C-alpha cells in the first residue's frame, strides 16, 4: 500500500506544527504545502529547521489549484482560518477535487451551529465528491465537547453539565493578546468587547450545540459573556505587559438553555501567567446526572500541541469515513499514531 | 419510524439495570427478556418493581430461540457471562438470526486479545449476517482503554501510559467477594490466586491490547499480578466481614511490554470500604509523551451504572455501524441518550 498523502494549507504555527509532526510519522508523506505569502518558494525542511534526512525537498507554493488537482492527495489539512465563512471557499475547492478535508477553523468543529446553510452545502459537496470534511482541534473539537460527550456515555441520565478550561496564554503572540484584550485597561477592554476587537474564545456556540445535539437536547438559547480578568500584580510576557489594575485576560463564559433552563454551563478564562495569582490551570468537567462525574486534567491539555495532534491523528479516521460533513462525534475516538499510519486505513 | 426494538438476555443486576434504563427512554421498546431460570414467566415490570404506566406486560422467557427468530429485534443485549468462550454460542445464535449484539462480557471488549480464533469467527458470522457485534462496559470498554485512547488523541507522541482504577467493592454481593478474595487470610488469598478462585479483575489483557493496537504498538508481553490488600482495621459489609490483618480486596496490576520495555502500566485495586484507611477512590490516567496528560475522575465512575449505561448508550451506534465484530475504538464515542433514540439512527 502506498503511503498516505497529505497536503497542508497554511504554514503558520499550526500548519508548521502539523508538518513537523507528520514528518516524524511512518506511512505518511507530505506531498504539498500551500501558503499565501510567507515561505513561498522555500523548502519545508528549511522552514521547519529540520534535517531532511535524505528526503526530497518539499517546496512551499502559493498555487493551491495545481496542488489539489484531481485527487493528488488523500487529505488536505486546512489551517488558515477561525470562521466557517472565511474558510468555506477553500474547503469547497479541495472537496471538489475529490480530496478529504480536515479543518482546524474553530467554527468548523460544528459549523451548523452558526452557519447552517454553509454546513448543508459542505455536506452536499462532500457527498457528491465522495469525500469527508471534518472540523477538529483541542477546543472546540475535544475538551469542551467530545470529551464531555464521551464521559456522559457512562451515564444513565444527564441533568446538567458544567465545564471549565483554565489556560495560560503566556506563550502566544500579539494577535492572541489583542483578541483576548491582554494589557488593556478595564474601560478599553469593555469597548473592545463592544466593538468586537476583543473576541475571547471562538467556539462556544459550536461546543454547546455539539454537546446538546449529541445528547438529544434541543437548545433554545445560547448566551455568552466576556469579562476582563483584572490583575492585582504586574504580569509580563515577550509580547505584552500588564500593570496592576489592568487586564490580564478574558473570562469568556457561555450557557446553553433547554426549555428555559440552563443545562450547559461553560467557562474559559484565558490569561497570561495565571500562576502569579495562584490560579491553577486545568480542564474540568462536572456532569450532574446518574452518576455524577467530576473530571479534571491538570494542567490543561496545551492548546497548540493539542490542535496540531488532533488534526493529524484524525487523518486515518477521515480517510475511512463515509462521505459527508462530519463532526468529532460521528467519528471513532482520536488516538495517537505511534505505528505506521497505513495500518489504520481500512481497505 | 418504528421504535428501536431491544431484547435483553440475562436478568441479573446488569440485565435488569439495562431494562430499567431502557424503560425510561424514548423511541425504544423492550420486545423480549430471556433468563435461564430466575423470573421466568414473570412480568418484567413486576421484576423491576416498576409501574407499567399502561404498557403491555413483558413476560420473561427462557426460550431464546423463539425470541430471536428472524430479525425480531434491532439488537440483543447479552448480559450473561464474563468470558468470550462462555458467551460465544449465545452471540452466534443471535447473530445468525440477523440481530445486532451488544455484550458486556469483559473479554468481549477486545476478544482477540485472548480468543483470536473466536474473534475471527464472530467477525465472519457478523459480516455474513449483515450485523454488528460489540463488547462494551465500564472497564474494560471505557476507563482503562477507550478513555485512555481518546486522551492520546491530543498527543503528538506517547511514550508510556499509566492508569489506575481505585474502587469500592462494598455494594457488591457474595460472588464478587469470593472472586476478589475479600475476608480471606493472606495465606488463603494466595492459595486462591494459585487455584484460580481469586480472579481479581477480568479485562486487563483486553484493555492493554486495545490501547496498544489503537496506538499502533506491538505488545510482546502482558504480565499480571494479584496481591492481597491487607486491612489494618476491621471492615464489614452486608455480605462479608474482614478482621484486621486479613484481606480487604485484591490489588490486581498488569503491564504491557513493547520491545522489552513496559509501555502500559495498569492497576485496579478493588476492596471494601477503602475510605476506612484513607484511600480515596478514583479513575486516574497519566500519559507521558508530547504533551503529558494527568487526568483524574474522583470518585471513580461507578462500575454497575457505568456498564449498564454504556451497553444501552451504544445501541444506536451499533445499529448504525458497518457489519462485523467491532470494538469501542471503532465506534463513535458513547453518549447519554436524553432525547428520542430514533433520532440517533441513520436512515
Quick one: pLDDT at residue A216? 98
Backbone phi and psi for residue A221, each to the nearest 5 degrees, phi listed first: -155, 140
Please indicate if any CB of chain B lies within 8 Å of the CB of A340. Answer: yes
Return the C-alpha cell found at A322. Answer: 463515509
Q: Do A154 and B146 touch (CB under 8 A)?
A: no
Residue A230: which pLDDT band, with cuts at 50, 70 and 90?
A: very high
Task: Select the residue from B333, B337, B345 to test the A interface by mutation, using most A Cβ atoms within 10 A.
Answer: B333
Quick one: pLDDT at residue A172? 84
Chain B residues touching A344 at Cβ < 8 A: 216
A87 burial (CB, 10 Å; 0-12 / 13-18 / 19+) is buried
Q: Which residue of B has its CA nearest to A20?
A: B156
Quick one: pLDDT at residue A176? 87
Q: Give the C-alpha separation, B228 to B330, whole Å.
A: 36
Quick one: pLDDT at residue A20? 97
What is the share, in percent, of chain A residues with pLDDT greater than 70? 100
Residue B97: which pLDDT band, with cuts at 50, 70 and 90?
A: very high
Q: Give the C-alpha separation, A297 to A143, whole Å.
A: 10
Chain B residues touching A155 at Cβ < 8 A: 305, 309, 313, 336
Residue with cell string 438553555: A257
Q: What is the mean predicted confidence (pLDDT) over A130-149?
A: 98
Q: What is the pLDDT of residues B256-278, one digit of tens each?
A: 999 999 999 999 999 999 999 99
Contact indicator for B275, B300 with CB cutoff of 8 Å: no
Q: Which residue of B has its CA nearest to A313?
A: B153
Return the C-alpha cell found at A179. Answer: 483578541
Quick one: pLDDT at residue B70? 83
Instruction: Looking at the complex, report in whole angstroms how far the Cα of residue A316 sits from the nearest Cα belonging to chain B.
Output: 12
CA pseudo-torsion sign A226, A227, A231, A234: positive
Q: Which residue of A has its CA nearest to B340?
A: A216
Q: Give the C-alpha separation, B214 to B198, whole Å.
A: 30
Q: Do B305 and A330 touch (CB under 8 A)?
A: no
Question: In chain A, which among 6-65 make CB contacts under 8 A with chain B?
Answer: 21, 24
Contact indicator for A107, A115 with CB cutoff of 8 Å: yes
Return the C-alpha cell found at A335. Answer: 488516538
Residue A171: which pLDDT band, with cuts at 50, 70 and 90?
A: confident
Residue A276: which pLDDT band, with cuts at 50, 70 and 90?
A: very high
Q: What is the pLDDT of residues B278-299, one digit of tens each?
A: 999 999 999 999 999 999 999 9
- H-helix or E-strand containing B90? helix B84-96
Q: What is the pLDDT of residues B129-149, one digit of tens each?
A: 999 999 999 999 999 999 999
DSSP B260-324: TEEEEEEEEEEES-GGGGT---EEEEEEEEES-EEEEESSPPPHHHHHHHHHHHTHHHHHHSPSE
Q: What is the pLDDT of residues B153-177, one digit of tens each?
A: 999 999 999 999 999 999 888 888 9
Report the half-sphere exposure of A44 (CA within 13 A, side-chain side).
31
Quick one: pLDDT at residue A71? 86
Terminal-residue alpha carbon distance, chain B: 10
Chain A residues touching B335 at Cβ < 8 A: 149-150, 152-153, 214-215, 329
Q: Give the C-alpha separation, A11 to A78, whole Å.
A: 10
Amino acid at each position: 500500500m502506498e503511503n498516505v498523502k497529505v497536503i497542508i494549507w497554511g504554514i503558520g504555527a499550526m500548519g508548521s506544527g502539523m508538518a513537523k509532526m507528520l514528518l516524524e510519522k511512518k506511512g505518511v508523506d507530505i506531498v504539498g504545502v500551500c501558503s499565501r505569502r510567507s515561505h513561498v518558494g522555500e523548502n519545508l525542511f528549511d522552514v521547519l529547521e529540520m534535517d531532511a534526512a535524505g528526503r526530497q525537498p518539499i517546496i512551499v507554493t502559493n498555487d493551491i489549484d495545481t496542488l489539489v488537482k484531481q485527487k493528488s492527495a488523500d487529505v488536505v489539512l486546512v489551517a488558515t482560518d477561525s470562521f466557517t465563512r472565511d474558510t468555506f471557499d477553500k474547503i469547497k475547492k479541495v472537496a471538489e477535487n475529490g480530496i478529504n478535508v480536515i479543518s482546524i477553523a474553530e467554527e468548523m468543529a460544528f459549523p451548523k451551529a452558526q452557519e447552517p446553510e454553509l454546513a448543508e452545502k459542505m455536506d452536499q459537496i462532500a457527498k457528491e465528491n465522495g469525500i469527508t470534511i471534518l472540523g477538529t482541534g483541542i477546543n472546540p473539537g475535544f475538551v469542551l465537547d467530545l470529551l464531555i460527550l464521551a464521559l456522559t456515555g457512562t451515564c444513565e441520565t444527564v441533568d446538567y453539565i458544567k465545564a471549565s478550561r483554565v489556560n495560560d496564554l503566556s506563550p502566544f503572540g500579539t494577535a492572541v493578546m489583542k483578541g483576548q484584550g491582554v494589557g488593556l485597561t478595564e474601560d478599553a477592554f469593555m469597548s473592545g468587547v463592544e466593538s468586537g476587537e476583543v473576541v475571547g474564545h471562538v467556539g462556544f456556540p459550536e461546543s454547546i450545540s455539539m454537546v446538546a445535539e449529541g445528547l438529544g437536547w434541543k437548545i433554545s438559547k445560547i448566551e455568552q459573556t466576556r469579562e476582563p480578568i483584572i490583575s492585582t500584580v504586574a504580569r509580563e510576557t515577550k509580547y505584552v505587559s500588564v500593570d496592576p489594575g489592568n487586564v490580564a485576560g478574558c473570562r469568556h463564559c457561555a450557557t446553553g438553555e433547554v426549555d428555559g433552563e440552563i443545562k450547559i454551563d461553560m467557562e474559559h478564562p484565558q490569561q497570561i501567567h495565571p500562576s502569579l495569582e495562584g490560579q491553577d490551570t486545568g480542564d474540568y468537567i462536572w456532569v450532574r446526572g446518574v452518576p455524577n462525574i467530576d473530571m479534571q486534567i491538570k494542567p490543561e491539555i496545551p492548546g497548540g500541541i493539542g490542535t496540531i495532534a488532533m488534526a493529524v491523528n484524525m487523518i486515518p479516521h477521515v480517510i475511512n469515513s463515509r462521505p459527508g460533513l462530519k463532526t468529532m462525534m460521528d467519528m471513532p475516538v482520536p488516538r495517537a499514531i505511534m505505528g505506521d499510519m497505513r495500518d489504520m486505513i481500512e481497505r
